[in-house]
Amino acid sequence: MILTVTLNTALDITYRVRSLRPHATHRVSEVAERPGGKGVNVARVLAALGHDVTVTGFAGGHTGAVLRAMLAPAPAAPVARERGGADTPGALVDALVPVSGATRRTVAVVDERTGDTTQLNEPGPQISPAEWAAFLGRYQELLPGAEAVALCGSLPPGVPVGAYAGLVRAARSAGVPVLLDTSGEALRRGVAARPDIIKPNAGELAELTGSHEPLRATQDARRRGAHAVVASLGADGLLAVTPEGHWRAAPPAPVHGNPTGAGDSAVAGLLSGLVDHLPWPDRLARAAALSAATVRAPAAGEFDGPAYTELLGRVRVTGAASAA
């Protein structure tokens, strides 16, 4: 089982409007709703790849109830994890901790004229000390059964800013590989606790290190404590600096579409390759192909199964293993 932690889960709402104009009234032509928060997105991709996943974090209020109800049904049809392979979808187990506040909504407003998306993110519910303690207990219960754990996304109000550092240390004490995907001060503190992998995007990496030069920033992030750093650089693909070597992985040509969720799919690819004991170049190929297949999918945050299978054979991984 792979464990994903989403402390600030979300009910993701997508609106389509003819053309978004500030100060106007808009008739929404289409409404879509799905469970969200980075770790929930990662779990959905992992389950589609055939992995058993457990989702923890917080959920509350009527939005939390909707989110949990939508997590319950079987995930999307499975796709081959490898070319030629075939799997049944993995189980997606809901181990969210109930809270008295309401799970936040996010609203993505898609302008049909330009294709642009305008995003409105609610802050998330206030987490009480008792709720935080309940989560820590749940996390400790789940860790021994996990092959890997992913700590994903922002912290809701009330959760201490050093939260991820503690969760990283607990995973490492339990001997469970831990991936951290967050930003700002939560990332800064989490990195210092020496996670196995971090997956910042270019902006998060620059904020963490002060450098806008990706290779330098990635190396600096390792010095700050991360064992491996996989930076997602948009159209430039992935840049990985790990104890085993450093690599770049990208599809053969830029992929056009909606980048929402591409980073979460990359995290899912890295975890999938990790628990399948693949060498780094193959993990990166999986992550880059999933990421590109997500950009190419018509619905935001979904990934296109056939595109993934096709891209997996065409992603170019360049770099070298360390001499060690």
Instruction: Just list the catalytic residues.
Output: 264
Under the criterion CB under 8 A, does residue 233 sit at the interface with its own copies?
A: no
How far, in Å, are 103, 166, 187, 238, 294 from residue 178 at the CA level? 25, 12, 13, 19, 23
* Closer of 27 and 256 to its own copies (Cβ): 27
Is 27 an interacting residue with respect to its own copies (CB under 8 A)? yes
Told to check if 118 binds its own copies by CB under 8 A, we report yes
Out of 5, 7, 12, 15, name the contact with its own copies by CB under 8 A.
15
d(C-alpha 229, C-alpha 17), whole Å: 38
CB 170, CB 138: distance < 8 Å: no
Q: Which one of residues 32, 65, 76, 170 is an interface residue with its own copies (CB under 8 A)?
A: 65
What six digits make up the tokens of 95? Answer: 């181990």
* 116 scored as a contact of its own copies (CB under 8 A): yes
Pick from 123, 137, 157, 252: which binds its own copies (CB under 8 A)?
Answer: 123
Of 21, 83, 216, 316, the residue at the interface with its own copies (CB under 8 A) is 21
- In this structure, the number of other CB atoms found within 10 A of the CB of residue 213 comes to 12
Contact status: 185 vs its own copies (CB under 8 A)? no
Please choose, out of 16-24, 167-175, 246-254, 285-293, the segment that lies near its own copies by the rule CB under 8 A: 16-24
Residue 209 CB coordination number (10 Å) = 22
Write out 116-168 in H/E/C secondary structure: CEEEEECCCCCCCHHHHHHHHHHHHHHHHHCCEEEEECCCCCCCCCCHHHHHH
Question: Which residue's structure tokens are 């289409």?
Answer: 30
The residue from 31, 72, 74, 235 that contacts its own copies (CB under 8 A) is 31
Does 66 contact its own copies by CB under 8 A? yes
Rg for the chain (alpha carbons), in Å?
19
Closer residue to its own copies (CB): 100 or 119? 119
Structure-block tokens of residue 309: 């299978």
120 belongs to the binding site for its own copies (CB under 8 A): yes
Contacts of residue 83, Cβ cutoff 8 Å, sequence gap at least 6: 309, 312, 313
Name which of residues 34 to 63 contact its own copies (CB under 8 A): 62
Contacts of 284 (CB under 8 A, 6+ apart): 230, 238, 240, 247, 249, 269, 270, 273, 315, 317
Binding mask 67-106 for its own copies (x = CB under 8 A): --------------------------------------x-
| Residue selected from 82, 87, 111, 276 as contacting its own copies according to rule CB under 8 A | 111
**Minimum separation from the CB atom of position 114 to its own copies (A):** 8
* Residue ranges that bind its own copies, judged by CB under 8 A: 13, 15, 17, 20-29, 31, 62, 65-66, 105, 107, 109, 111, 114, 116-123
